[in-house]
Amino acid sequence: MTSSTTPAAARKYFDTAMALLDSDVAGAAARFQEATEVDPSMADAWLGRIAAGDEALSTVEQLYTYGIRLHRETNRIGARLSAPIKAGPYLSISVTEASHAGLALASALIDDRQYEKAEALLADSTLLDTWENHQWKQYIESYLMFATQRWPDVIAVAAATLPPQAIIMSAVTAATCTLAAHAAAHLGQARVALEWTDRVELRAGFGGPTETRRSHLETAITAVDPTDFPLIAADLAYVRGMAHRQLGDEPKAQIWLSKATINGALIEPAKQALADPALQLVVTDEDAISSRSNKWDVTTEVSEQQRQEEEHQERRIELLQEGRALLDNQVGLADVKRAVAELEDQIEVRALRLAAGLPVANQTNHMLLVGPPGTGKTTTAEALGKIYAGLGIVRHPEIVEVKRADFCGEHIGASGPKTNELIDRSLGRILFMDEALVAQAETITYSVDLGDIRAVANSDGKLIELTLHPGVMTGYAHAALADRLNLAIAALRAEAEAENRARYGDELH
């Protein structure tokens, strides 16, 4: 076929298709397709294909590509042609112009998860060549943010003020408000979600798409007939129900969820929510959404725990430096400093072995500091708190300082539960037990108090700083307790050792 006969042949197919469109849709679709095969630039034939039921993304793309040529063939034969194309989850846009095709294509690209292309297309100012397109663009842009779970952006777009000349359509307003209500609920803003739902009045027999009669609801800004837009009505009821559930009002939640129906059948999310009263919407926040490495991909969000770890990482480095400086400023304590240095090496080696999949030995993080009052044990414990937090052994650098009364009960059997409760409260921090063996008062048997100390020492994952009277644990023979502690002994006086032997004996049982 020569180039001179191509337009004529394509027009013949097009004219035949137009004649068949009302009576033989399948035949019309075939002729429209033949017209586009002969002349791919015939925009009216692409629109005809869509009117005949061809909803493929590629067809919409071709229509938009050649949209500037629309009306050439229909004007030639004195006909009118339009096609409804899906726009967002709730509506269809009637396409008669190239800009309509662009808006419809943006929606189709969103459905196909081509979000960057959709965003670029929506940024094209030529789409706003009619005043009605301003609201359509707002709705489809809200849908882009909705589909990618960028909830704050959904609300921001939906709340934007349109030009005063913009044509406002009730159905488009209702659809946009429904998307914003969903977004607010997913941000955990239940009352805001309800405010968005209250902007839409569902009114049977509503007069038309641009009607502006005063609503029966004080907060409503638009009204639609639920029989014309059943999915909007069902989704509004569903969001209302889930918002009331977030607020803890389950009776209202049940009422609204039971209204989330289409043709009398519950929509699936409402059915699941009614079956499980504990079911809640997945709630996120703006920080999580902003953390995405790909702004369109929800799976690239950094979890709250990961974000906190990143925030703490710099602080850990500072704490490690502060702790080392504080410990270095302590006079003497060579054994303590050496033990901490060895511990840092052990942690580094342990991490390397774990990364390589090699076995690692169990490690205790307990430390026993022994020395007379005034030798810096409390300051050393504070330094260790910073170092351990810097190394990630504990989450918080603060030490929890306790005395005998905090973990010892007044009678046999009371100390164990009290000690356990104390340990649980101190998780994530260093538990600093000051003057620990004051617990061994003459009026209480040593075995009770040693049991308290043993309970603490046997609690893995907690650093215990036991500060004692001079040499109170020197020469002890309690192997089970000794095995649980890394010992760093500083400023121990020989005369105190003799005094303690005379007072407590050679063995501690």
Tens of pLDDT, residues 459-491: 444 434 433 332 223 233 343 444 444 443 333
Is pLDDT larger for residue 506 or for residue 252?
252
For 90-114, what is the mean pLDDT?
A: 97
Question: Of 111-125, 362-376, 432-446, which has the strongest mean pLDDT?
Answer: 111-125
Confirm whether 359 is domain-assigned.
yes
CA dist 175 and 88 (Å) reads 9
Tell me which DSSP letter residue 300 carries.
Answer: G
Q: Burial, 123: exposed, middle or buried (Cβ in 10 Å; 0-12, 13-18, 19+)?
A: exposed
| pLDDT for 448 beyond 50 | no
Q: Virtual CA dihedral for 242, 245, 249, 255, nearest 10 degrees?
A: 40
Q: What is the pLDDT of residue 509?
A: 36
Predicted TM-score of the model (pTM): 0.68
Tens of pLDDT, residues 412-421: 666 777 777 7
Measured CA angle at 403 (ends 402, 406), to 5 deg: 75
Helix (H) or strand (E) holding 223: strand 222-224
Confidence of residue 303 (pLDDT cuts 50, 70, 90): confident
Confirm whether 217 is domain-assigned.
no
> Which CATH number covers residue 459?
3.40.50.300
Confirm whether 346 is domain-assigned.
yes
Confirm whether 355 is domain-assigned.
yes
Helix (H) or strand (E) holding 54: none
Confirm whether 353 is domain-assigned.
yes
Helix (H) or strand (E) holding 489: strand 486-489
Q: What is the pLDDT of residue 387?
A: 84
**For 60-64, 207-211, 318-322, 497-501, which range has the lowest pLDDT when averaged over its residues?**
207-211
DSSP 74-119: HHHHT----EEEEETTTEEEEE-SHHHHHHHHHHHHHHTT-HHHHH
Of 185, 194, 180, nearest to 280 by C-alpha is 185
End-to-end alpha carbon distance in the chain: 107
Q: Virtual CA dihedral for 468, 470, 476, 482, nearest 10 degrees?
A: 40
| pLDDT for 62 beyond 90 | yes
For 240-246, what is the mean pLDDT?
A: 98
The mean pLDDT of the chain is 82
Q: What is the pLDDT of residue 215?
A: 43
Tens of pLDDT, residues 391-402: 877 888 888 877
Q: What is the pLDDT of residue 80?
A: 96
Is pLDDT larger for residue 268 or for residue 324?
268
The radius of gyration of the chain from alpha carbons, rounded to an integer in Å, stands at 37
Confidence of residue 247 (pLDDT cuts 50, 70, 90): very high
| pLDDT for 220 beyond 90 | no
For 1-25, what is the mean pLDDT?
A: 87
Q: What is the pLDDT of residue 216?
A: 46
Confidence of residue 359 (pLDDT cuts 50, 70, 90): confident
| pLDDT for 498 beyond 70 | no
| pLDDT for 213 beyond 50 | no
Counted domains in the chain: 1
Q: What is the pLDDT of residue 440?
A: 47
Confirm whether 498 is domain-assigned.
yes
Q: Which domain holds residue 380?
A: 314-504
Is pLDDT larger for residue 422 or for residue 33?
33
Confirm whether 26 is domain-assigned.
no
Confirm whether 436 is domain-assigned.
yes
